[in-house]
């Protein structure tokens, strides 16, 4: 029996309040444990797609299911639980710069605490130990007490990944995670995501501008153009010409 997809889009449309079409009739399934890369020109809808998965953006019509449950109507506790199982990392890392690496990583655990405890920094010993383990997973255990803004960009992004590990996520969404990094640090971040995908079975969905990186890391590549799904192939079937076409044709839109 084939396993049910971890995420399923069914006829999803997203129209922003100003009338801009973000997503147009998107339907596809993401199997559990896949490393999916989303490519497309700037403005194609990649960020919009990612952000509908954790409901940072609301869809206009259609349905998204996660682990076979429709998430459209989640509120309160169900929405919090959904967001707990989905980690997200951003191009700009979104760390608290003046705080220690430990404090930043522990902040990934806040949904497990009442607000007053997190304000006072009252994290349990078990969670402090979990923070060390998360940093070990991204090869940064020696930076526990370093201030976040004293790290390189690649190290900061790995702290952001360690922070999401505190949620024990089933899915990691990465929105242009390496766009501001040089090639060497880019590799450390992408390798980290790949390791978590392969060793921990975390489903990873990454928006990338770089076709070369997409080809190197993806199990499957999907392409968006003007909010539409225009390409969907397993990596073995992806050709350079296909990818060039996604970008070239997009320019005519």
Binding of ligand ATP by 20 (CB under 6 A): yes
Report DSSP state, residue 147.
B
Question: Is 69 strand, coil or helix?
Answer: strand
Q: State in angstroms the smallest separation of the CB of 154 from ligand ATP.
A: 20
By CB under 6 A, name the one of 5, 8, 22, 164 that touches ligand ATP: 22
Query: Which residue, 143 or 225, has its beta carbon nearer to ligand ATP?
Result: 225
Query: Which residue, 102 or 175, has its beta carbon nearer to ligand ATP?
Result: 175
Query: Which residue, 33 or 62, has its beta carbon nearer to ligand ATP?
Result: 62
- The CA-atom distances, in angstroms, between 63 and each of 52, 53, 94, 208 are 10, 11, 29, 25
Binding of ligand ATP by 16 (CB under 6 A): yes
Binding range to ligand ATP, per CB under 6 A, among 43-51, 60-68, 70-78, 128-136: 43-51
Q: State in angstroms the smallest separation of the CB of 133 from ligand ATP.
A: 33
Which of these, 233, 242, 232, 222, lies nearest to 44 by C-alpha position?
A: 222
Binding range to ligand ATP, per CB under 6 A, among 41-49, 66-74, 123-131, 229-237: 41-49
Query: Which residue, 64 or 138, has its beta carbon nearer to ligand ATP?
Result: 64
Q: How many whole angstroms from its chain centre is CA 244? A: 24
Q: State in angstroms the smallest separation of the CB of 134 from ligand ATP.
A: 27
Query: Which residue, 110 or 230, has its beta carbon nearer to ligand ATP?
Result: 230
Please answer whether residues 160 and 89 qualify as being in contact, where contact means their C-beta atoms are separated by less than 8 angstroms.
Answer: yes
> What's the CA gap between 189 and 155, in Å, rounded?
8
Q: Which residues lie closer than 8 Å to 77 by C-beta, 6 or more apart? A: none
Site for ligand ATP in 137-156 (CB under 6 A): none
Helix (H), strand (E), coil (C) string for 8-36: EEEEEEEECCCCCEEEEEEEEEECCCCEE
Binding of ligand ATP by 18 (CB under 6 A): yes
Tokens of 196: 């978590």
Q: Which residues lie closer than 8 Å to 186 by C-beta, 6 or more apart? A: 154, 178, 213
By CB under 6 A, name the one of 46, 158, 170, 225 that touches ligand ATP: 46
Tokens of 238: 């992806």
Binding of ligand ATP by 239 (CB under 6 A): no
Query: Which residue, 21 or 187, has its beta carbon nearer to ligand ATP?
Result: 21
Residues at the site binding ligand ATP, with contacts judged by CB under 6 A = 16, 18, 20, 22, 40, 42-48
């Amino acid at each position: 029996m084939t396993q049910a997809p971890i995420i399923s889009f069914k006829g999803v449309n997203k129209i922003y309040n100003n009338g801009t079409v973000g997503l147009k009739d998107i339907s596809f399934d993401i199997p559990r444990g896949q490393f999916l890369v989303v490519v497309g020109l700037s403005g194609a809808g990649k960020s919009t797609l990612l952000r509908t998965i954790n409901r940072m953006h609301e869809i206009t019509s259609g349905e998204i299911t996660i682990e076979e449950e429709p998430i459209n109507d989640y509120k309160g506790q169900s929405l919090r639980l959904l967001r707990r199982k989905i980690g997200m990392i951003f191009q700009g890392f979104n760390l608290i710069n003046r705080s220690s690496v430990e404090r930043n990583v522990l902040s990934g655990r806040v949904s497990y605490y009442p607000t007053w405890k997190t304000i006072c920094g009252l994290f349990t010993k078990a969670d402090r130990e979990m923070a060390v383990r998360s940093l070990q997973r991204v090869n940064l255990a020696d930076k526990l007490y370093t201030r976040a803004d004293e790290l390189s960009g690649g190290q900061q992004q790995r702290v952001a990944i360690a922070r999401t590990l505190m949620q024990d996520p089933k899915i990691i969404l990465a929105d242009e995670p390496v766009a501001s990094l040089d090639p060497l640090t880019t590799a450390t971040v992408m390798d980290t995501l790949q390791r978590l995908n392969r060793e921990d079975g975390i489903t990873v969905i990454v928006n990338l501008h770089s076709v070369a990186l997409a080809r190197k890391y993806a199990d499957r590549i999907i392409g968006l153009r003007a909010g539409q799904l225009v390409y969907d192939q397993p990596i073995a079937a992806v050709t350079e010409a296909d990818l060039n076409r996604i970008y070239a044709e997009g320019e005519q839109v």
